[in-house]
A and B are shown apart, each in its own frame.
Chain A
Amino acid sequence: AQSVAQPEDQVNVAEGNPLTVKCTYSVSGNPYLFWYVQYPNRGLQFLLKYITGDNLVKGSYGFEAEFNKSQTSFHLKKPSALVSDSALYFCAVRDGSYNTDKLIFGTGTRLQVFP
């Protein structure tokens, strides 16, 4: 079965410093990977996706993610964190097997950016 794991419940970073939010995946076949962000009491917003092509994917709000096949990882990164980046981040993988099509989400990582 397809799955993703987010090993950190929370990541703390100072404003202006680079940030990384980790995600590892387990899939059969080629992975379709996604990152979403959720602000308090809101729905999720799409940040970026990896389908195929370049291993470095650029997305919204200055975020990027690096696909690493050998390490089965898809870490979210940003060169310089903002306080407004503080939110809950979800990694997800598409499950297109057995005549289905859905996203499987990780448990989420709370990012806290301190001024």
Chain B
Amino acid sequence: DGGITQSPKYLFRKEGQNVTLSCEQNLNHDAMYWYRQDPGQGLRLIYYSQIVNDFQKGDIAEGYSVSREKKESFPLTVTSAQKNPTAFYLCASSLAWLNTGELFFGEGSRLTVL
């Protein structure tokens, strides 16, 4: 079945540690996105990538990094520089940029910093 797979679903981290969240899609979509969800704040865009080997900062990129070496993969690293990393992280993809179609979302990864 085609879709987006995020892993791990739950992750616990100690302060000062970097963690990487995985996002893989087999939809053959060009564009991929990372959103952060906090209660009462909706979804905020962290990074997005419109094509392989290219990505842009979203609204809250500080303390995060990404790579897009393959079309199907868009991992997100939450670095120790991120001051408040506890959140629900959502990966999404769309067919192409400047596309009027919808986003397809993964099931999310919940990160808790202890």
- A residues in contact (CB < 8 Å) with B: 9, 32, 34, 36, 41-46, 49, 51, 90, 94, 96, 100-108
Contacts and interface: CB of A to CB of B under 8 A. Distances in A.
Given A32-B100, A90-B43, 16 more contacts: A41-B108, A41-B110, A42-B108, A43-B105, A43-B106, A43-B107, A44-B90, A44-B103, A44-B105, A46-B103, A46-B104, A96-B98, A101-B50, A102-B33, A107-B40, A107-B41
B97 interface: yes
Interface residues of B, number: 29
A105 B40 contact: no
Contacts, number: 55
Contacts of B50: 101
Contacts of B27: none
B97 A103 contact: no
